[in-house]
Amino acid sequence: MGNASKLIIFIVETNTTMKTICTNFIFISFLILPIYFLQAQNNTCANEQFQTIQLQNPEFRQQVESIINSNQATNKTTEDVLVIPIAVHVLHLGEDSGVGSNIPDLQIQEAVEKANSLWRNTFVTENSLSNDIKVEFCLAQYDPHGNPSTGIVRADASSIPRYAETGIGYIEAVLQGIFGSDETQTKGFSDWDHNYVLNIWVVHKIAGGWGGYAFFPFGNNYPTDGVVITANSMNKNSTTLAHELGHAMGLFHTFQGAENGCPANDLCFIQGDWICDTPPHRRSDCNNSNCNNSPDSILSFKNLMSYCSNRYIFTKDQKDRIRNTIFNSSRKALLQSTACTGVISGITKNINHNFSIYPNPASTGFTISNRMNKNLPFEIEIRNSLGQTLFSKKLNSGNEQYISFDNKIEKGFYLVLIKNEDKVIDTQTLIIQ
């Protein structure tokens, strides 16, 4: 990415036209790695034009088509909850923790919780328009070395050239003559293995004033893969994180292809946003469509991948695209990560454990079966995807016993830890419904 930025600057300095800049940028990018730049706020820019040019590139298009066409049955035969571990890197300006760009843990946890509620369709009560994607994002409980972690990493990035003044570099800003910090250098300042977690960088500013952007999961473990979001967009009142995570899992904007009018939709699976149940619309059409007046236009107007207000919807075809992308791209490695559990359990299925729990999914409680020495003292903890302990209890001796939580824990995905003298000896996933 650093080399690509230098080449782009050279093109700008030789007064090449905007169209040539875009074309050369896409060509150069594909020589290095297949990438996909996306933004998440209603700011005027050439972003959608980039996407259109990229889709004209045979290599990029082939990779998108391979995701669509590859073993589509994979995500339709299973409703397992897929757990994607994340690490949030707060690249602050030297403030104390919880101050300014060094936002507090609670703000980050609430933002992740909001994104999960949108992805699991629990945010809007009685929401029949959206779909439960059956994907949850879990703040890493262990760092890449196996040490306990909150999944939140803080680093003073103020020493990186141009970061404090302009923010992290972004191609759209370069085209406007605004040069931020080198993207690869900035992300490399705090970065975990991309097969271990999906990295999210919280920055004080993105050059050009955008709210966030993300990469499609193409290529290998390239250094810029992940999500970038500004500190003031990382909060419980914003849908930016949920939107960017959608891009990171293979979704276009719902108004993709609307640069010169209404998106083409004759072949909905390879035109517009390549999703057939999101009616075509222009970016500014959020109540009445100039492109499609069908009753289901609300599926786009309130879609999380639109720029419209009060967005909360993922469609069924978007769910299929997300899950198919996870199973058939570099994201699949995250399902085998030990970042959230300490054991391989990216899909919520029991593996060989010293304890078993049933029923799973559960509603008001479950039975735990002890396959170890029944006379040893054990303790059970139930944690949410943010790593917060919601329930704990010392277990009595015996082979089986019932754990009741009396509807005090909301529906969702949870981690069950079995401990002996504060040492974790087993972990399992639990779905509460």
Q: Please tell me whether residues 378 and 239 are part of one structural domain.
A: no
Q: Please tell me whether residues 363 and 300 are part of one structural domain.
A: no
pLDDT digits (tens, 9 = 90+) for 300-333: 999 999 999 889 999 999 999 999 899 988 899 9
β-strands 400-404, 412-420 pairing: unpaired
SS (HEC) of the chain:
CHHHHHHHHHHHHCCCCHHHHHHHHHHHHHHHCCCCCCCCCCCCCCHHHHHHHHHCCHHHHHHHHHHHHCCHHHHCCCCCCEEEEEEEEEEECCCCCCECCECCHHHHHHHHHHHHHHHCCCCCCCCCCCCCCCEEEEECCECCCCCECCCEEEEECCCCCCHHHHCECCHHHHCCCCCCECHHHHHHCCCCCCCCCEEEEEECCECCCCCEEECCCCCCCCCCCCEEEEHHHCCCCCCHHHHHHHHHCCCCCCCCCCCCCCCCCCCCCCCCCCCCCCCCCCCCCCCCCCCCCCHHHHHHHCECCCCCCCCCECCHHHHHHHHHHHHCCHHHHHHHCCCCCCCCCCECCCCCCCEEEECCCECCEEEEEECCCCCCCEEEEEECCCCCEEEEEEECCCCEEEEECCCCCCCEEEEEEEEECCEEEEEEEEEEC
Number of domain units in the chain: 2
Q: Please tell me whether residues 393 and 328 are part of one structural domain.
A: no
Is pTM beyond 0.85? Reply is no
Q: Please tell me whether residues 331 and 366 are part of one structural domain.
A: no
Contacts of 371 by beta carbon, 8 Å cutoff, 6+ apart = 353, 354, 355, 356
Contacts of 155 by beta carbon, 8 Å cutoff, 6+ apart = 89, 90, 91, 92, 189, 190
- Residue after which a domain boundary falls, among 313, 348, 383: 348
Q: Please tell me whether residues 157 and 233 are part of one structural domain.
A: yes
Range of the structural domain that residue 423 is part of:
355-432
Q: 98 with 106: CB under 8 angstroms? A: no
Q: Please tell me whether residues 267 and 361 are part of one structural domain.
A: no
Q: How confident is the model at residue 97 (pLDDT cuts 50, 70, 90)?
A: very high
- Residue after which a domain boundary falls, among 348, 378, 400: 348
Which CATH number does the domain housing residue 392 bear?
Answer: 2.60.40.10
Q: Please tell me whether residues 383 and 339 are part of one structural domain.
A: no
β-strands 423-432, 378-383 pairing: unpaired
Q: Please tell me whether residues 377 and 282 are part of one structural domain.
A: no
Q: How far apart are CA 401 and CA 379, in angstroms?
A: 12
Which CATH number does the domain housing residue 106 bear?
Answer: 3.40.390.10
Q: Please tell me whether residues 39 and 1 are part of one structural domain.
A: yes
Q: How confident is the model at residue 53 (pLDDT cuts 50, 70, 90)?
A: low
Checking if the pLDDT of 406 tops 80, the result is: no
- Of the segments 106-115, 253-262, 291-300, 380-389, which one has the largest average pLDDT value? 106-115
Q: Please tell me whether residues 298 and 414 are part of one structural domain.
A: no
pLDDT digits (tens, 9 = 90+) for 285-297: 998 877 877 788 9
Given this model, what pLDDT does residue 57 score?
Answer: 67
Q: How many CB atoms lie within 10 A of CB 264?
A: 14
Checking if the pLDDT of 59 tops 60, the result is: yes
- Residue after which a domain boundary falls, among 348, 371, 406: 348
What's the mean pLDDT in 373-386? 79
> Lowest-pLDDT range, 43-52, 66-75, 261-270?
43-52
Given this model, what pLDDT does residue 317 score?
Answer: 94
Q: Please tell me whether residues 37 and 152 are part of one structural domain.
A: yes
Q: Please tell me whether residues 256 and 363 are part of one structural domain.
A: no
Quick one: what percent of the chain has pLDDT higher than 90? Answer: 38
